[in-house]
Structure formats: structure tokens, C-alpha cells
Structure 1
């Protein structure tokens, strides 16, 4: 599982976890928020999924990392939104397995979903937000879902 840091380049999951830990250890008394969001883009032949992880030192900057996955072309919007959400939740599980449980339990963790009250995705809000909240996380939708609709979206093309 490989991630990209804009400042450090390609990182393994373990390297990313160490980098996040060192970022926190620079100012351990500050407050942090963890944001995870996935967006996708379909072209002629495939669908690209980008999952972003943002560690935000509230009021004092942030670091982010992202992971790209190319999959077969998906035209069904509902299926794509569900897969985006699943990829975000899988990253949380991977982070917990890698020793970042302390981070995920001490600070707010938001799952940003690329759906909103406008457009076709509005019909999915209740079920997708319900899924995320039922497993114990805060779900954010547009316009508050910048992790998916801004950060991850930036790397889908």
C-alpha cells in the first residue's frame, strides 16, 4: 500500500504513519483533527479512486497524503459512492492496524464523502452517512467534505 506526500514523495503505509507521528510529536499539546476522504473519476477505460488523509493541526497547518487506485470502469454512481466510502473506511482500519489507534481515538476523525444535497448523489445521503456513523465516525458531506471534494478530487485527473 503506497501513499504520496507532496513534500516527501512515495511512502509506504508504515512510513506515512511514522511521518504523521513525528508531525504530532513536534507539537504534542496542540489539538488535531484527522480527515479521510475518497473521490473518483471515470474516463473511457477505467475509474481512478484517490483516497486522501489529512492530519490538521488546528489553527497551525496540516499535512496530507493520498493514494491512487485504478480500477475497471464504473458507470454506476451509487456503486462508485459506496466504493469511495469503503476505501475511506478501509484506510482507517489500516491505520489502526499500523499503530495509529491512539491518534484515531484521541482526536476527531471525519470521513468526508463526495455527496451533497444538490445533484444525483442527494438520494444517497441518508444511507451512506448512516453507514459511516454506525461504525463510529463523523460523516461530512458537501460543502463540508473538503477531504473528498477538494483534496482527493485534485488528484483524480
Structure 2
């Protein structure tokens, strides 16, 4: 990725800094409500240009909706090997969550809950690596969600891999 940017359906193309500022504005506009920051990545293998990865950032105002932003990129080094792609998805989400958590702490929002949604579940082809991926996320200090509760990866990010 040469120039990092995210897409917001309501705000258009944004830099990481603009996304961060928008998250802070959204959270601080109703500080009495509970907010959660959700990061999720999904991928789809494509023979013509490798795997398409989408990482989504969702700022959820519990009971009141939210906003989301996503970044789409291709990587030919992750082919049809599902296990490799799932570990890469988790590492992408973990990296972004770390960046956001650091910036949140620097700006007085260290208490904002950051959750990573994994596109794995107890049923299906990904079930063999659920514990490994969840352990990786929890061991890094973040909460992890798997299917059917991982809408950040399995619904929001998934929508843009097609």
C-alpha cells in the first residue's frame, strides 16, 4: 500500500488521521453513552490478482448505531491457503487496533473498549484455528469475537471483499 486511506460511506475517502479525528468527534459528541471500537478484517481469494483484503473500523454507539470505515487492498503472497489468510487477517486487525489504542491513550480515550472481530467460528473450515487466533488477540490485550458475534469481519469487511 503506497498511500494509506480509508473509505467511509458517509464521509468519503479519509486518511488515518481523518478517521481518528472522526472517531473522536463521534465519541465525544455523546460521551454519556457507551462506545466500542471494533476492528475486523476479511479476505477473498482471487486468482487474477491474489487475495483481496478488507479491514474495517467500526465505532459503535451501543444501542444507537455507529459509523464505519474500511480499507481495501490486494496481496498476491496470500493465496488460496485459508489458514495463512486467516492469520494474516488477524495480524492486520491486531496491528490497526494497536495503532488506534495507542492514539486513543495519547488523547485521553484509553478507556474506549477496542474489540477485534475474527472471521472464524466453531463451525466450518476455520474451526481448527479458532483457539490459536483468539489466543493471539487476547494475549495482545484486546477482546476477541468469533462468529456469530464477529460482525465487524464477517459482515462489514466481508461486504467489500466481493
Q: TM-score range by the shorter chain?
A: over 0.9
Q: Does 1:91 align with 2:96?
A: yes
> What stretches of structure 1 of length at least 5 have no aligned partner?
none
CA offsets per residue over residues 79-125 of structure 1, 9 Å max, x none?
Answer: 0000000000111122245x22243x313221100001111100001
C-alpha contact (below 8 Å) 2:97/2:114 kept by paired residues: no
1:43-54 equivalence runs, <5 A? 43-45=46-48, 46-54=50-58
TM-score (norm 2): 0.91
TM-score (norm 1): 0.94
Q: Does 1:117 align with 2:119?
A: no
> What stretches of structure 2 of length at least 5 have no aligned partner?
none
CA offsets per residue over residues 33-54 of structure 1, 9 Å max, x none?
Answer: 1111000011122111000111
User: Normalized per residue, which structure has more helix?
Assistant: 1
Q: Secondary structure at the match of 1:10?
A: strand
CA distance in 2, matches of 1:127, 1:38: 16
Counterpart in the other structure of 1:26: 29
Counterpart in the other structure of 1:77: 82
Q: Does 1:139 align with 2:144?
A: yes
